[in-house]
Amino acid sequence: DIQMTQSPSTLSASVGDRVTITCRASQSISSWLAWYQQKPGKAPKLLIYKASSLESGVPSRFSGSGSGTEFTLTISSLQPDDFATYYCQQYNSPPWTFGQGTKVEIK
């Protein structure tokens, strides 16, 4: 199975900050990576697919990059609505696996 490791596990930031979350795969997954945002008590929401493609309706302050084994999710200017937990997910091969999550908290 492909293991996905996110860092950091928790991130404290202020509104307006640039935020970067890293996701590493235990083997190459090409660009078969997605990012999700989840708020407490809610279902996850797809933000980015194929490592860098922005899902329709997602604000342009979110961006994704990377290929192979190292990927990043960047929020260019953190907004109040962005405080949430973020997950990466690989879909290179089954079983589809998620990172453990990164919680973005208010500093």
Return the number of the residue (80 or 94) whose C-beta is nearest another protein: 94
Note the maximum CA span of the chain. 38
Cβ-count burial of 69 within 10 angstroms (0-12 exposed, 13-18 middle, 19+ buried)?
middle
- Are 65 and 74 in contact by the 8 Å Cβ rule? The answer is yes
Query: Binding segment for another protein among 11-19, 20-28, 69-77, 90-98 (CB under 8 A)?
Result: 90-98
- Least distance CB 19 / another protein (angstroms): 19
Place of tokens 């928790």: 10
Regarding 101 and contact with another protein (CB under 8 A), the answer is: yes
How far apart, in whole angstroms, are the C-alpha atoms of residue 35 and residue 29?
14
Query: Using CB under 8 A, which residues numbered 36 to 65 contact another protein?
Result: 36, 38, 43-46, 49, 55
Regarding 103 and contact with another protein (CB under 8 A), the answer is: no
* Interacting residues with another protein (CB under 8 A): 32, 34, 36, 38, 43-46, 49, 55, 87, 89, 91, 94-101
